[in-house]
Structure 1
Amino acid sequence: MRLVITGGAGFVGARVARLALERGHDVVALDDLSTGRADAVPAGATWVEGDVRDAACVETVLEGADAVLHLAAAVGPRLVAEDPAGTWSRNVEGTATVVRACAARGRRLLLASSSEVYGVGPDADAPLSEDDPCRIDAAGRRDVYAISKLAGEALAFAEHRARWLPMTVVRPFNLVGPGQGGRYGMVLARFAEAARAGRDLEVYGDGLQRRCFLHVDDAADALLGLLDASASEGRIVNLGSDEEVTVLDVARRVAARVGRPRGWRHLDFERVHGEGFPDPRRRRPALDRLRSLLPTWRPSRTLDDAIDDVLAESLAS
């Protein structure tokens, strides 16, 4: 299979590219390096620097491709807070370019959306199912990212119905691991960078927000599996772990590993990101659909593995 990965120099894209090459696929990595790194693209992949909003570039890259994994996006709460208009442009215009190009050529498309589309609603304490309503606010500062992702989903489904685009939407939940930067607010990467610099880890609020973290290696394995799963076409699939931990527990684990068992401090989330930028108390995926589509897939790496990998990379740099 010849696989095009948009965002192929990014945290997830580079990991998928490496695994796809190991499995004998041809890989084309497209990235504008706005947040990715060229040196992250594995040897053996065809590397193209370009913007997914550039239709001519996308059309050229898709020549000869069998499938597209669309990961290119503006991500991270800090980036969204700093540049909401740019977030919209990259995520909506870029996704529209990729979706339409795939539809015109009948290319298999795996579209990375986000767990953010579920919003912060009254039922957020329950596992979030793909069939749950998306509770987002058009005026919400955080929700510009969620809306941009939901718009991409809607366009992909429109092209699926109109032109039989073979597509699957994936909603990842809190992917972590080596190669992820903390600049735009990714929690484990932020903690690792603070630990490397000898600073206190910054925990937002009381730290009792509950999350489910999935190692990027396991995510890459699932993404390639979903590309091959024809039963996933025309469907939305959550991707994540259902092992819940608090953010404070993650901070404790990181601090203990670097010999600073009380090495964190608490900050107000909205003071950091601005008012109208809430932090969900709990976010846990329902994974029944993923498991039915990929019955042999199970996470092979734990959160502690991810912490060790991220700290090893951070302390070595």
Structure 2
Amino acid sequence: MRALVTGAAGFIGSHLVERLLADGHAVIGVDDLSTGGRANLPGHAAEFRFVQGTVLDASLIDDLVSEVDVVFHLAAAVGAFVIQERTLRSLLTNVHGTENVLDSAHRNGVRVLVASTSEIYGKNTKVGLTESDDRLVGSPLKTRWTYSEAKAIDESLTCSYVRELGLDAVIVRLFNTVGPRQSGRYGMVIPRLVNQALHERPLTVFGTGRQVRCFCHVQDVVPALVRLAQAREVNGIAVNLGSTEQVSILELATRVLELTGSGSGIVKMSYEEAYGAGYEDLQRRVPDCTRARELIGFRPERTLDDIIRAVIDEQTRTAQVVTA
């Protein structure tokens, strides 16, 4: 298989590149390096080629797509801080970038896996969100919801290309994928809390801390992405990928302290202090991954403690410093 990975130098993208190469596939990676890092990628792998560029460059994307059999479209502006600070750029990247990928894949007859997000579900607090559940999203005038809006458009575009033009594609909704190489500087909670604990700084918990999330290890997610991309009978649908192990953010901070052995305390910070006026959050987000289990046998093997330990090990080894 010849694969193109957009967002290849990012957190999930770089792990995916490694997996594809280990499985014997030829890989092209493209990334604008706005949040990813070249150091995340293989230096001299015979079957890997890196191209620095943006998915907004339609001509570049078309050239790269014409060389491959499948596209893993992971490139996106992500992270609460990034969306809040660079809203317009994020919207353009997340909508027009996906449009470029889909259009090129259609014209070249190439299969696409489109990475979407649990943010699609918005404020829906149902325990066990299924792919057919309703979106409950706040005002489009609030920056908080622009990422959800953009990814919803991505999904609608993908489904329209499948139904009307015959594109071969699958959508994957990721629920808080975490692990080594993920940075806390863009708002990702586990690497941020771990970094604070390792540097004996107070762990900042936004809001009440009672918000419930589920976190899934990147090494459980990446093999599922590959299997879904190869499952050609899976076309035009969305598939949840995530863990169902629930934890409140306050409990998460406590577990980080326990596993790091840190003497840091925990402080609460209002959303307004963290993100600015008008920020809204949701109280619970828990996936139902029955579809992924039935289609490809997806079952996360790693626990939340395994995830936290993996992030601790990496940050200890690389001596990361994050000011947030």
TM interval, shorter chain, is over 0.9
CA RMSD of aligned residues (A): 1.3
Measure, in 1, the Cα distance between the counterparts of 2:230 and 2:272. 41
Q: Which residue of 2 aligns with 1:176?
A: 178
Measure, in 2, the Cα distance between the counterparts of 1:201 and 1:51. 35
Give how far 1:228 is off: 1.3
Give how far 1:262 is off: 5.5
Corresponding residue to 1:59 among 28, 52, 62: 62
Measure, in 2, the Cα distance between the counterparts of 1:241 and 1:70. 22
SS in 1 for 2:143: coil
Report if aligned partners of 1:208, 1:246 keep a CA contact under 8 Å in 2. yes
1:190-211 CA-partner distances (Å, limit 9, x unpaired): 1122123221111112211111
- Show the 5 A alignment for 1:116-195: 116-121=119-124, 124-136=125-137, 137-195=139-197
- Show the 5 A alignment for 1:215-230: 215-230=217-232
Q: Which residue of 2 aligns with 1:209?
A: 211
Measure, in 1, the Cα distance between the counterparts of 2:59 and 2:264. 53
Measure, in 2, the Cα distance between the counterparts of 1:113 and 1:252. 30
1:116-174 CA-partner distances (Å, limit 9, x unpaired): 111114xx133211101222232222111101111111111111112210001111000
1:71 to 2:74 alignment: yes
- Show the 5 A alignment for 1:165-314: 165-260=167-262, 263-295=265-297, 297-314=298-315
Report if aligned partners of 1:255, 1:264 keep a CA contact under 8 Å in 2. no
User: Deviation above 6 Å: which 4+ runs of structure 1?
Assistant: none
How many aligned positions are there?
A: 314
Give how far 1:261 is off: 5.3
The letter of the residue matching 2:15 is R
Give TM-score scaled by structure 1 length: 0.96
Report if aligned partners of 2:200, 2:264 keep a CA contact under 8 Å in 1. no
Report if aligned partners of 1:130, 1:236 keep a CA contact under 8 Å in 2. yes
The letter of the residue matching 2:229 is L
Give TM-score scaled by structure 2 length: 0.94
Report if aligned partners of 2:203, 2:264 keep a CA contact under 8 Å in 1. no
Gaps of 5+ in 2: 319-324
Q: Percent identity?
A: 39
Could you tell which deviates more after superposition, 281-290 or 267-276?
267-276
SS in 2 for 1:198: coil
Could you tell which deviates more after superposition, 24-33 or 246-255?
246-255
Q: Which residue of 2 aligns with 1:97?
A: 100
Give how far 1:188 is off: 0.3
